[in-house]
Amino acid sequence: MKHRALLAVLAAAFVYLPAHAEDGYDLWLRYGQQSSYPPSAEHSRELVHSDASPTLAAVGRELASGLGGLAGAPIPVVREPSRPGALLYGTPRSSALIAGLSLGLERVGPEGYVIRSVTLGGKAATVIAGNTDVGALYGAFHYLRLVQTRALAQNLDIVSRPRTRLRLLNHWDNLDGHVERGYAGQSIWDWHKLPDWLDPRYTDYARACASIGINGSVLTNVNANATSLTPAYLEKAAALAGVLRPYGVRVYLTARFSAPIELGGLKTADPLDPGVRAWWKAKIDEIYRYIPDFGGFLVKANSEGQPGPQDYQRNHADGANMLAEALAPHDGIVMWRAFVYASSATEDRAKQAHAEFLPLEGRFAKNVLVQVKNGPIDFQPREPFSPLFGAMPKTPLMMEFQITKEYLGFATHLAYLAPLFEEALDADTGSARKGSTVARVVTGELDQHELSGMAGVANIGADRNWSGSHFDQANWYAFGRLAWDPDVSSQAIAEEWVRMTFSNDPAFVQPVVEMMMGSREAVVDYMTPLGLAHLMGTGHHYGPAPWVSDLSRPEWNPAYYHRADANGIGFERGPKGSNATGQYSPRVAAAFADPKKTPENLLLWFHHVSWDHKMSSGRTLWDELVTHYDRGVGKVRQMRLTWEAQSGRVDAGRFAQVSAFLAIQEKEAQWWRDACIAYFQSISKRPLPVGSAPPAHSLDYYKSLKFPYAPGRG
Ligand code: GCV
């Protein structure tokens, strides 16, 4: 009796009550009452509780609070099923009942799960089971998602396992709280107060990550600070690891290559020096004493001024392998970034990663992944896929996407990035092997790599809504969903997210999903249409600055990328130019090398094209360019109308902020359009197509605008 009373109290405590007015804090984990739930006697009449581990205790809390909230009444929490409609969760080890069922768990690996309608002792029940506790946790979030989106079928038979092993957020967070390229406030990691104060927000972060299958977090910026490897900071990282661990999120750190000099007082950081190797081994052993399940290191080396093995005439493999050797006994891994471009190189920047890494194929240790940005340059609104994908079959290549929108208008522009991620993942690398998409390279399926991964540069900060804008939460969500399964469509993910985050009302879902789906292309149109890239303001990347051509390194200048002149515009990367196209597999290279076969949305990435070149629309390139800029602004106008029509279907707080941000986006889209047209017209000397309005201001006006305090600076 006493026991029962306790469980009732526990259940009541788990009923979901939003702690505050809608400010976006709850992300997609909203458990407000759903009239359609529970759908039938078969579902969720009681929750069979297990707290056999901290992870299963977390599953229990999430299901009790989630289902209680969704049903509008506490769900009874019991130790044994007592009536039809019980919901069980766990593993064959945690539950004799689960062990007694044949669920086919051998198909789901260490992190997957099964959600199945079963009969137990003649009574209908639902089982959420994994081989591990964390598998059950992922299954529980899937179950909640089904309820939240009204997709819970009467008879459940769901089997899911992640396609990539490492699904990681990369935080570009500095120890002083500044987030490089962060537009959502300061870092959520309060290093100063750690390890003594564990902000409850860390748990909510872990819940959000787990709900979409993210299983690792690189806490620190790739522009690394060796201080993060000192005992005081390892203790802080260990405290965070303790909060994240029950949710299956492992902690990783960035390693500053010169740490042996800066922390160890050595004279060198040469990776082949025995003293340096011994220093790293001791440091890594020390890290594991603090964090026994430490995931490993992410390293940016010899890139944008970061130290690295090339400082000692060694190569990237020498550097990565040294760390890998010391991490291997602990099952740790190294993610070595391929984002490199040298100040001294005269080579096309788009070619440099491939040129530096291809010769190292086959030379990396087994526990090294090379982490490659989706495109050859740097997270532009549109890039072709990096030619490294498909070119290094012996090396696990990890995908690096940017969730934070450094080049897509920061947090105030609504740009749903899943179509961008999807475009990269679906790209055919053209290798002779069948089904050689970028996705299958990244999952390791193409080349049978056990180690595989996807990283997303986080857009998370201390703002109440986490991401700086309500719609940017969708990009965090979509990244996780695609890292779990790169074949889920961006449209399906948008729909799920909208339903969970805002509303299941079809009158809301359909237009808002449509608005999201077109939003990235709108940004491409008003910023960098037809394959243009890197036209953003110097340093902060805020706003247009295509005219900049006086910075010390050529590839820091927008003019380097667009190469507009009296004849035309675009970077010739075919065989007559830099021959970057030659880095792709022969089939893809043949298409990209020929302007007639190059997709028009990448035309100016690969070719310098005459202003009068005839496009498929029948327009000249110049007219087409202007038409795209106009279209981009028009799309944002339409997005505003779509959103305004939703008034009353969303809470006032979130509605107002989205409205205000869309107004900013329209203003800035117009600015982008006007400034770019004013500048390019000064070079093309062509009239605007009929019906296209002249820019609001002179070119000099746009050039005079300065933004010394734009957020997120490096
Ligand atoms: C963390 C771009 C960004 C830098 C970033 C770098 C990288 O250059 O502007 O802020 O540095 O990419 O990915 O390492």
Using one digit for the tens of pLDDT, what is the confidence trace for 445-477? 999 999 999 999 999 999 999 999 999 999 999
Give SS3 for 605.
Answer: helix
Protein residue with its CA nearest to atom 12 in ligand 1:
378
Q: Which atom of ligand 1 is nearest to the CA of 373?
A: 13
Q: Return d(Cα 590, Cα 602) in angstroms, integer.
A: 14
Flag whether pLDDT at 3 surpasses 50. no
Determine the Cα–Cα distance for residues 694 and 493; give it in Å rounded to an integer.
Answer: 39
Average pLDDT (502-506) is 96
CA of 273 to the centre of ligand 1 (A): 29
Q: Please check whether residue 53 is in contact with residue 93, taking contact to mean a CB–CB distance below 8 angstroms.
A: no
- How many A from CA of 420 to the centre of ligand 1? 19
CA 382 to chain centre: 16
Given this model, what pLDDT does residue 41 score? 61
**Residue with CA closest to ligand 1 atom 7:** 339
Is the pLDDT at 9 greater than 60? The verdict is no
Contacts for 138 with CB less than 8 Å, ≥ 6 apart: 111, 112, 113, 130, 160, 210, 213, 248
- Is pLDDT at 194 greater than 80 in this prediction? yes
Ligand 1 mean position, distance from CA 60 (Å):
40
CA of 714 to the centre of ligand 1 (A): 7
Query: For residue 303, how far is its CA from the centre of ligand 1 (angstroms)?
Result: 9
The answer, yes or no, to whether residue 17 has pLDDT greater than 70, is no
- Could you identify the atom of ligand 1 that is nearest to the CA of residue 406? 9
| Mutation test residue for ligand 1: of 174, 178, 304, 404, the one with most atoms within 8 Å of CB | 304
pLDDT of residue 233 exceeding 50, the answer is yes
CB 688 within 8 A of CB 626: yes
Tell me if 339 CB under 6 Å of ligand 1. yes
Q: Which residues pair with 336 in a beta bridge?
A: 299, 370
**Atom 4 in ligand 1: residue holding the nearest Cα:** 714
Output the residue whose Cα is nearest ligand 1's atom 13: 339
pLDDT band of residue 497 (cuts 50, 70, 90) is very high
Q: What is the pLDDT of residue 36?
A: 80
Ligand 1 lined by 407 (C-beta under 6 Å): no
Q: Is 378 in the pocket of ligand 1 (CB under 6 A)?
A: yes
Report whether pLDDT(368) > 60: yes
| Mean pLDDT in residue range 220-245 | 98
Neighbours of 510 (CB within 10 A): 12
pLDDT of residue 75: 94
Which of 170, 171, 172 is the best mutation target for the ligand 1 pocket, counting ligand atoms within 8 Å of the beta carbon and taking the most? 172
Measured CA to CA, the distance from residue 161 to residue 549 in angstroms comes to 49
**Is the beta carbon of 499 within 6 A of some atom in ligand 1?**
no
Output the six-digit token pair for 491: 């449209």
What is the per-residue pLDDT for 592? Answer: 98
CA distances 271 to 188, 324, 614, 681, Å, are: 33, 11, 54, 52
Q: What is the largest CA-CA distance in the chain?
A: 87
How many Cβ atoms from other residues are within 10 Å of residue 19's Cβ?
A: 7
- Give the pair of three-digit tokens for residue 457: 């540069």
Please provide the average confidence, as pLDDT, over all residues in the chain. 95
CA distances from 540 to 544, 707, 710 (A): 11, 8, 6
504: alpha, beta or left, given left = phi > 0 and alpha = psi -120 to 50? alpha
Task: Tell me which of 170, 173, 181, 374 to substitute to probe ligand 1's pocket, judged by most ligand atoms within 8 Å of the beta carbon.
Answer: 181
Is the pLDDT reported for residue 11 higher than 70? Answer: no
Ligand 1, pocket-test mutation among 352, 378, 379, 551, most atoms within 8 A of CB: 378
Q: Across residues 603-626, what is the average pLDDT?
A: 98
Query: What is the CA angle 190-195-197, rounded to 5?
Result: 65
Per-residue pLDDT at 493: 99
- Which ligand 1 atom minimizes the distance to the CA of 400? 13
pLDDT over 70 percentage in the chain: 97
Please tell me the residue having the least CA distance from ligand 1 atom 2.
378
Query: Residues 406, 495, 521, 555: which is the catalytic one?
Result: 406
Gap between the Cα atoms of 515 and 519, Å rounded: 6
Q: What would the mean pLDDT of 373-396 be, rounded to a whole number?
A: 98
Residue 314's contacts (CB-CB under 8 Å, 6 or more residues apart) are 270, 271, 272
Residues with Cβ within 8 Å of residue 705, at least 6 apart in sequence = 543
The structure tokens 């999201």 sit at 516
Region 10-35 average pLDDT? 74
Flag whether the pTM goes above 0.75.
yes
Which amino acid is it at 266? L
Q: What are 533-584's pLDDT values in tens digits?
A: 999 999 999 999 999 999 998 999 999 999 999 999 999 999 999 999 999 9
What's the chain's length in residues? 714
The answer to whether 637 and 646 have CB atoms below 8 angstroms apart is no
Q: Determine phi and psi for 336, rounding to 5 degrees.
A: -105, 120
Q: CB–CB of 468/712 below 8 Å? A: no
Whether 116 lines ligand 1, by a CB cut-off of 6 Å, is no
Calculate how far, in angstroms, residue 223's C-alpha sits from the geometric centre of ligand 1.
8
Spatial contact of 322 and 347, defined as CB atoms under 8 Å apart: no
CA distance 284 to 508: 51
Using the Cα atoms of residue 519, residue 523, residue 525 and residue 526 in order, give the sign of their dihedral: positive
Query: What is the model's pLDDT at position 434?
Result: 83
The answer, yes or no, to whether any atom of ligand 1 lies below 6 A from the CB of 218, is no
Would the pLDDT of 10 be above 50?
Answer: no
Terminal alpha carbon distance of the chain: 61
The atom number, within ligand 1, closest to the CA of 402 reads 13
pLDDT band at 42 (very low <50, low <70, confident <90, very high): low
Backbone φ and ψ of 430, nearest 5°: 75, 10
Give the Å distance between the CA of 458 and the centre of ligand 1: 13
Atom 5, ligand 1: residue with shortest CA distance = 714
Atom of ligand 1 nearest to the CA of 300: 14
Task: Please give the distance, rounded to the nearest whole angstrom, from the Cα atom of residue 181 to the centre of ligand 1.
Answer: 8
181 pocket-lining for ligand 1 (C-beta < 6 Å): yes
| Closest protein CA for atom 8 of ligand 1 | 378
406 is catalytic: yes
Distance of alpha carbon 278 from its chain centroid, rounded? 35
pLDDT single digits (tens) 398-445: 999 999 999 999 999 999 999 999 999 999 999 888 899 999 999 999
Percent residues over pLDDT 90 in the chain: 93
Between these two residues, 613 and 344, which has the higher pLDDT value?
613
- Which is nearest to 416 in space by CA: 508, 506, 524? 524
H helix intervals, 330-397 = 349-357
The answer, yes or no, to whether any atom of ligand 1 lies below 6 A from the CB of 223, is yes
Catalytic choice (378, 422, 423, 572): 378
* CB distance 120 to 97 below 8 Å: yes
Ligand 1 center to residue 275 CA distance, Å? 31
Give the position, in ligand 1's atom list, of the atom nearest the Cα of 181: 10
304 labelled catalytic: yes
Active-site residue identified among 304, 331, 487, 644 = 304
pLDDT in the model for residue 702: 98
| pLDDT band for position 20 (cuts 50, 70, 90) | low
The tokens describing 138, both together, are: 């992922």
Q: Establish whether residue 161 lines the binding site of ligand 1, counting it when its CB lies within 6 angstroms of any ligand atom.
A: no
Long-range residue pairs from 226-231, CB within 8 A, at least 24 positions apart, any chain: 226/256, 226/258, 226/259, 226/262, 226/263, 227/175, 228/175, 228/253, 228/254, 229/253, 229/255, 229/256, 229/259, 229/263, 229/283, 229/287, 230/263, 231/286, 231/290
Centre of ligand 1 from the C-alpha of residue 370, in Å:
16
Q: What distance in angstroms lies between residue 95's CA and the mean position of ligand 1's atoms?
A: 47
Angle (nearest 5°) at CA 228 between 227 and 234? 120
The DSSP secondary structure of 58-114, one letter per residue, reads HHHHHHHHHHHHHHTSPPPEESS--STTEEEEE-TTT-HHHHTS---GGGSTTT-EE
Ligand 1: residue of 339, 557, 561 to mutate (most ligand atoms within 8 A of CB) is 339
- pLDDT confidence of residue 344: 74
CA of 406 to the centre of ligand 1 (A): 9
Does 172 sit in the ligand 1 pocket, CB within 6 Å? yes
Token pair of 378 as six digits: 């740097």
Report the nearest atom of ligand 1 relative to the CA of 303: 14
CA distance 528 to 535: 7
Assess whether the C-beta atom of 222 lies below 6 angstroms from ligand 1. yes
CA of 711 to the centre of ligand 1 (A): 14
CB of 481 closer than 6 A to ligand 1? no
Could you give the CA distance from residue 200 to residue 137 in angstroms, rounded to a whole number? 19
502 and 492 in contact (C-beta within 8 Å)? no
